[in-house]
Every structure is written in structure tokens, then in C-alpha cells.
């Protein structure tokens, strides 16, 4: 029985007889087709290492104040010291850790919430009408203003920043997930699932979610860099992470007066932020090219 | 088409109501109120109560919101709690500052990004294509506040040239006004340019493969004519849409630029109002910028339909 099945497929599709290349071969092929993406992956991995192992890589306690103020970079202090004599290398590591964590966690939360709400909204009619009006309203507000409003009301703690940023990325994702769900729902297999009595939850999770996952995944991959910039911008405006905890945007804002006299204070967090954003953007672009079926094979 | 426009217009008041009601309720959740800010040193409970009475802060949130709304229908959006000036006057005074910034930013962005995107597409995989793409990726990664600090701090050190600060209205001194705007506009446009370059390039690549472009070439037209008259015009349809939408977004997104370059625009006004809990200013700002956003989007959609007759809204 199994033999005849194998023979049948073999007869129909000679390509099936050729062994499928191993996972490493396929990864290598993908990597060669996306050299820029590999560079982005490398930068992203550096960022990931900083986020996970930052505290072990730090040479000093990031918040420890000394009398060695505004020292230039040296063997003892690789990135020099700041106004309060704190080791700037350790502070840059700690700052990057918090910037990246806030961006990634809030985007993940917002994406998950937006996807769920979008799917449900597309499926449940009466809810849809209400939700879409609410989202119209939120989208009509300038994004940064919405964030400012909520931060002022609820405070500037890291947790709250994460929730507020997540809230700010949710509405557009609801729109995208809703549109993708609506187009998936027209497929005959969804109708078939309904006919055999699958619950709405099963239909959404088993039949819709896998179909809209590439779209949502692409939005996530392309959005991380932007969210890092927003986190940094909040820190720069003094509305983000509060001292003594360091954060890239906040460090850049505090170094404004010393750009000429102690340029290392400005340069390191600025380069850190730019490289991190560059890395995730390049990686995100490559992933989009790989995941988006419309772009496949165009470049 | 008529019913489509009518339906969109009917939704505008709904959106603005949800927006202003939501904001009014949320901002009243903030601990404390504007009285703390105004009295600071001369604070006594009696004075605070008197001031609350005078500003109408002793009303409940619903009562306060609906009395503001019924006045707003008659064109009276109340006065600022901090400066006691009518909010409408302040918005009228500050709106030109912001709109000039936004229009100039969008124009500079379009006039630089569209030609670059088109060149990249025409020379696909050539040297200029690669350099334009690398440049746009790099520019996208550098935060606009970093560019702004650079632009403000380094020219004085390197060339002894100080970028002019201090807003002057265009009608008073056009030259000075343009000088003040030059750096904020360039900084703002840089941040938005990369997306537009990429979009123009993608659209151009698609259009350049179309039959009518081949026809235009085969009848012996010059490359410049083919690109400008046949390809670019069609590729620009989606680009203009995105440009229009970014215009709507930029209206409120200029907060950072206004803050760094201390331009007395709407964004800065709203930022301060939120922090000082100047409720009526915040509510009016939300209604105003929401209205602008919705109308700009409607116009963009209609222009899109006009440019591309295959689109039919129903």
C-alpha cells in the first residue's frame, strides 16, 4: 500500500525522487541571495548580545558616580565618562538594552493585540462597526501626541512606556489584520470548515491566522527600527526613560550642550542607535522580500 | 461617487466626537490639575478652590465636556487655563507656523526623493541605483533628533556660522523666514525621504516593464521623453497618494522638530498644554488636527480616483 503510494507520487513528480537539500544548504542559498540581509542579521545579533549579555559585558557599574568627570575615552573608560563621572561604555550598553527592549516588547504586544482584535473585528459584524469608528478616531490623532497624552496621564515608568507604545502601534495593525482576514475568509476552505461545524475560534486560529501571519510578520520586521526611533525620540524629549537609568535618546539629549567639548557623549549613543536601527531595518527588508509572495523573485 | 463623499463626510463628526470625548476623559485622569501649576508659590486651599470655581474645574468630567461641546458648536472653544486667551485665537496664530513647516517639508521631500527614486529605477542595479539605495537606508537609520543636534551644533564650530533661530512670519521678512525654516525643513524631509525614494523606485520598475513603455521606446522616442512622459506620470499615482497621507501625518508629527528649533507651532502648543493640563486647549487641538487629518485623507482619496480612473469608490 505504502509502496504503491510512493510509486504513484514518484511517477507523477520525478523531482520528488531527488533528495531535498538539507536545511544548511537551503539557509546558505537564502543567505547568498540576500547579502545585505546577512549584514543586517549580523548587526541585529550584536544588538541581541548587548540586550541579553549587556550587564556581563559592562566594565563598570553603569550608575556608579565617580569624581573623574567628563574624561575622554581611555583604556580604563573605553567610551570616557559623563558629567557625573559614570563609565560611558557601561551606560551606553545599559541604555541600548533598555531602548531595544522597550521597542521590541511593545511592538510584540501591539502586534499580537492588533492581530487578534483585527481578526475578531473582521469576523464579528456588530463589533466591527464600533471598533472601526474607534480606530478611525485614534488614527486621526498624530501618533506622537497620543503617546504624549498617555505618558502624561499614567507616568513615565518603563512598564507604562511599553504599554503606551504598544497601544500606539495597535490601531494600524488592527486595520491590516482585519483586511487580510476579510480576504482570507472568502476562501472556500473557510466555508468548508464552517459547514463541518468548526467554531469561530478554530476557524480564526487554524485557518485564518496561518494565512495572515506573513503579512503581520512583515509589518513587525519592518517596524522594529521605527519603534526604536520613537523610543529614542521620547527619551530625547525627556518623556521616556528617566535618569539615573540611561537610555540612548535621553543620553543624546543630555549631551547636547557638550557636543563640542565632550563629543564622545553625543557620538556613542547616536552611533549605537543608528547601527541598531540600520541592522533591524536591513534584516527586516530582507525578510519582507522572502516572506512577501508579491516580491518573490523580483530582485 | 456623490454618496461615497457624503458617507465619508457624515462620519467626520462621529470621529471628532469620539476623539474629543476620549481625550477629555483621559486627560482628566491625570493626578492634579492646572491650579497647582498656576498657583505654585502662592498656593492656599482657598485660592485653589476659588480658581477652580472661576475656571469651571469644579464641574464633573461629563458636565464639563458637554458644556464645552455645546459652546464649541457655536464657535467658542473656550480659553486657555494658563494664559486665559481664547484657544481659537492661539490656534489661528500658530497654525501658519506649522502649516508652512509641513508644506515646505513635504515639497522638499518630494522634489528630492522622486527624481532620486526614478533615477535608481532607470539605472536598476547600476552604480547610481546602489548608491541611492544605500544612502536612503543609512538616512532612514539616523534619528531626526540626532541630525537636528548636528545641524545646530556643528556649523558654528566648523564654519562659525550660526543657523538663524527665532521665528519671523513670512509676510514680515520673507528672506529671514526662509532662513529660519531651512534647517528644520531639511532635517524633517531627510527623515521621510527614504520611504518615498523606495516607493518611487518600486513603482517605476513596475511601470518600466509595461507594454506602453516598450511601445514608446520602439517608436523611437528619446529615453528622457519615455521616462518623463510615459513612465514617471503613471508611477507617480501611488506616490502622490502616499505623499498626501504623509502630509496628514506630518501635521501633528512635527512636535519634535518644533521643539528642537523652538518654532511656535501647534505641536509645541499641544505638547505644553498636555503637560500643564490645559484641558480645553488639548480638546480643541485634538478636534482641529483630527479634522485636518480626515479632510486631507478624503481629498487624497478623491485625487487618487481622479488620477486613476480605474478606481471607483462605492
Contact A137 B145 (CB under 8 A): no
Average of per-residue pLDDT values in chain B: 83
Residues B116-148: tens digit of each pLDDT: 998 898 888 888 888 888 888 888 888 888 888
Nearest CA in chain B to A256: B149
What confidence category does residue A263 fall into, taking pLDDT thresholds of 50, 70 and 90?
confident
Instruction: Say what the pLDDT of residue B253 is.
Output: 63
Where does the pLDDT of residue A15 fall: very low under 50, low under 70, confident under 90, or very high at 90 and above?
A: low
Could you tell me which of B301, B299, B302 has the C-alpha nearest to residue B291? Answer: B299
Tell me the pLDDT tens digit for each residue of A149-185: 898 888 888 999 999 999 989 998 998 889 888 888 8
Largest Cα–Cα separation, chain B = 87
Half-sphere exposure (Cβ direction) of A286: Cα atoms closer than 13 Å: 19
Q: What average pLDDT does this structure show over A275-287?
A: 88
Based on the number of CB atoms within 10 Å of its own CB, is A189 exposed (0-12), middle (13-18) or buried (19 or more)? exposed
Q: A152–B30: do the CB atoms touch at under 8 Å?
A: yes
Chain B residues with CB under 8 Å of A237 CB are 255-256, 259, 271
Q: Cα–Cα distance between A100 and A215 in angstroms, integer? A: 23
Q: Is B255's CB within 8 Å of A278's CB?
A: no
Query: What is the least distance, in Å, from the CA of A269 to any CA of chain B?
Result: 10
Cβ-defined contact of B140 to A277 (cutoff 8 Å)? yes
Q: Give the closest-approach CA distance of A290 to chain B in angstroms.
A: 16
Contact A136 B154 (CB under 8 A): no
Residue A10 has pLDDT above 70, yes or no: no
Confidence of residue A5 (pLDDT cuts 50, 70, 90): very low
Predicted confidence band of residue A290 (pLDDT cuts 50, 70, 90): confident
CA distance A119 to chain B (A): 22
How far apart are the C-alpha atoms of A150 and A240, rounded to whole Å? 12
Task: Determine whether the interchain pair B141/A277 forms a contact, defined as Cβ–Cβ distance below 8 Å.
Answer: yes
- Mean pLDDT confidence for A182-203: 86
Instruction: Say yes or no to pLDDT of A29 above 70.
Output: yes
Contacts of A229 in chain B (CB under 8 A): 143
8 Å CB contact of B26 and A149: yes
Chain A interface, mutation test: which of B8, B27, B145, B270, most A Cβ atoms within 10 Å?
B145
With 60 as the cut, is the pLDDT of residue B27 above it?
yes
Q: Which domains does chain B have, with CATH numbers?
A: 2-72 (no CATH), 87-307 (1.10.3720.10)
Q: Which residues contact A190 (CB under 8 A, 6 or more apart)?
A: A184, A203, A207, A208
Give chain B positions within 8 Å (CB) of A278: 137-138, 141
CB-based contact B293 A278, cutoff 8 Å: no
Nearest CB neighbour to B253, from listed A144, A154, A274:
A144
CA distances to A21, A32, A279, A285 from A28, in Å = 11, 6, 20, 18
Q: What pLDDT is attached to residue B252?
A: 60
Does A8 have pLDDT greater than 60? no
Q: In the structure grid, which three cell numbers stand for residue A79, read together?
A: 567610551
Among B142, B256, B275, the residue with its CB nearest the CB of A233 is B256
Q: How far is B253 from chain A (nearest CA, A)?
A: 6
Mean pLDDT over A215-232 rounds to 87
What percent of chain A is predicted at pLDDT more than 70? 91
Contact yes or no for A85/A75 (Cβ under 8 A): no
What ipTM does this complex have? 0.83
Q: What is the mean pLDDT of chain A?
A: 82
SS3 B86: strand
Per the CB < 8 A criterion, the answer to whether B15 and B294 are in contact is: yes
Chain B residue numbers touching A253 (CB-CB < 8 A)? 145
Question: DSSP labels for A171-214?
Answer: HHHHHHHHHHHHHHHTSHHHHHHHHTT--HHHIIIIIIHHHHHH
Query: Which of B247, B221, B286, B279 shows the shortest CA–CA distance to B52?
Result: B279
Label residue A1 by pLDDT band (50, 70, 90).
very low
Could you give the CA distance from residue A181 to residue A186 in angstroms, rounded to a whole number? 9
Q: Band of the pLDDT at B311, cuts 50, 70, 90?
A: low
Contact A153 B11 (CB under 8 A): no
Chain A residues in contact with chain B using a Cβ-Cβ cutoff of 8 Å: 133-134, 136-145, 148-150, 152-154, 225, 229, 232-233, 236-237, 249, 252-253, 256, 259-260, 266, 270, 273-275, 277-278, 281-282, 285, 298
pLDDT in tens, A54-99: 888 877 778 777 777 777 777 777 787 777 778 888 888 888 889 9
Query: What are A106's three cell numbers?
Result: 511593545
CA angle B13, B16, B20 (to 5 degrees): 140
pLDDT-based confidence at B314, cuts 50/70/90?
low
Q: What percentage of chain B exceeds 90 in pLDDT?
A: 3
Give A142's contacts in chain B (Cβ within 8 Å). Answer: 249, 251-253, 255, 267, 289, 293
Q: Tell whether the model's pLDDT for residue A16 goes beyond 60.
A: no
Give the model's confidence band at A17: pLDDT under 50 very low, under 70 low, under 90 confident, else very high: low
Amino acid at each position: 500500500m505504502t509502496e504503491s503510494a510512493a510509486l504513484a507520487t514518484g511517477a507523477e513528480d520525478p523531482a520528488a525522487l531527488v533528495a531535498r537539500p538539507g536545511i544548511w544548504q537551503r539557509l546558505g542559498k537564502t543567505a547568498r541571495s540576500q547579502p545585505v540581509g546577512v549584514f543586517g542579521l549580523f548587526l541585529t545579533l550584536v544588538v541581541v548580545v548587548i540586550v541579553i549579555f549587556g550587564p556581563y559585558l559592562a566594565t563598570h557599574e553603569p550608575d556608579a558616580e565617580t569624581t573623574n568627570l567628563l574624561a575622554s575615552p581611555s583604556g580604563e573608560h573605553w567610551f570616557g565618562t559623563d558629567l557625573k563621572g559614570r563609565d560611558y561604555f557601561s551606560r551606553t550598553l545599559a541604555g541600548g538594552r533598555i531602548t531595544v527592549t522597550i521597542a521590541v516588547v511593545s511592538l510584540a504586544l501591539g502586534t499580537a493585540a492588533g492581530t487578534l482584535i483585527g481578526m475578531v473585528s473582521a469576523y464579528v459584524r456588530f463589533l466591527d462597526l464600533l471598533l472601526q469608528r474607534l480606530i478611525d478616531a485614534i488614527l486621526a490623532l498624530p501618533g506622537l501626541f497620543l503617546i504624549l497624552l498617555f505618558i502624561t496621564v499614567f507616568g513615565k515608568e518603563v512598564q507604562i512606556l511599553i504599554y503606551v507604545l504598544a497601544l500606539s502601534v495597535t490601531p494600524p495593525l488592527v486595520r491590516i489584520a482585519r483586511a487580510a482576514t476579510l480576504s482570507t475568509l472568502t476562501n472556500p476552505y473557510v466555508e468548508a470548515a464552517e459547514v463541518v461545524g468548526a467554531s469561530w475560534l478554530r476557524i480564526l486560529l487554524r485557518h485564518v491566522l496561518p494565512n495572515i501571519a506573513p503579512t503581520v510578520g512583515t509589518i513587525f520586521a519592518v517596524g522594529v527600527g521605527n519603534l526604536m526611533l520613537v523610543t529614542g525620540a521620547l527619551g530625547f524629549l525627556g518623556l521616556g526613560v528617566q535618569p539615573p537609568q540611561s537610555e540612548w535618546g535621553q543620553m543624546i539629549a543630555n549631551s547636547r550642550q557638550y557636543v563640542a567639548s565632550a563629543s564622545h557623549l553625543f557620538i556613542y549613543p547616536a552611533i549605537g542607535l543608528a547601527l541598531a536601527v540600520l541592522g533591524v531595518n536591513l534584516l527586516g527588508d530582507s525578510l519582507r522580500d522572502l516572506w512577501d509572495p508579491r516580491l518573490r523573485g523580483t530582485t | 461617487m456623490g454618496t461615497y463623499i457624503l458617507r465619508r463626510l457624515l462620519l467626520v463628526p462621529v470621529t471628532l466626537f469620539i476623539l474629543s470625548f476620549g481625550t477629555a476623559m483621559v486627560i482628566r485622569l491625570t493626578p492634579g490639575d492646572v491650579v497647582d501649576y498656576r498657583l505654585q508659590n502662592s498656593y492656599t486651599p482657598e485660592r485653589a478652590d476659588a480658581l477652580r470655581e472661576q475656571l469651571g474645574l469644579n464641574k464633573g468630567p461629563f458636565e464639563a465636556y458637554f458644556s464645552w461641546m455645546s459652546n464649541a458648536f457655536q464657535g467658542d472653544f473656550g480659553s486657555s487655563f494658563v494664559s486665559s486667551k481664547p484657544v481659537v485665537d492661539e490656534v489661528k496664530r500658530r497654525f501658519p507656523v506649522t502649516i508652512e513647516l509641513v508644506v515646505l517639508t513635504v515639497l522638499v521631500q518630494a522634489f528630492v526623493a522622486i527624481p532620486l527614486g526614478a533615477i535608481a529605477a532607470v539605472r536598476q542595479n547600476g552604480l547610481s541605483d546602489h548608491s541611492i539605495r544605500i544612502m536612503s537606508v543609512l538616512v532612514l537609520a539616523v534619528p531626526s533628533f540626532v541630525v537636528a543636534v548636528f545641524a545646530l551644533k556643528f556649523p558654528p564650530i566648523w564654519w562659525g556660522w550660526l543657523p538663524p533661530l527665532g521665528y519671523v512670519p513670512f509676510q514680515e521678512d520673507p528672506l529671514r523666514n526662509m532662513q529660519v525654516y531651512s534647517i528644520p525643513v531639511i532635517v524633517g524631509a531627510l527623515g521621510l525621504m527614504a520611504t518615498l525614494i523606495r516607493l518611487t523606485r518600486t513603482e517605476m520598475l513596475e511601470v518600466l516593464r509595461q507594454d506602453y513603455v516598450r511601445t514608446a521606446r520602439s517608436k523611437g522616442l528619446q529615453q528622457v521623453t519615455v521616462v518623463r512622459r510615459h513612465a514617471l506620470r503613471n508611477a507617480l499615482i501611488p506616490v502622490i497618494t502616499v505623499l498626501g497621507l504623509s502630509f496628514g501625518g506630518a501635521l501633528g508629527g512635527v512636535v519634535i522638530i518644533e521643539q528642537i528649533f523652538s518654532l511656535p507651532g501647534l505641536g509645541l502648543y499641544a505638547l505644553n498644554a498636555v503637560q500643564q493640563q490645559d484641558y480645553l486647549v488639548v480638546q480643541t487641538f485634538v478636534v482641529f488636527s483630527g479634522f485636518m487629518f480626515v479632510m486631507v485623507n478624503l481629498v487624497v482619496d478623491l485625487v487618487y480616483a481622479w488620477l486613476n480612473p480605474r478606481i471607483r469608490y462605492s
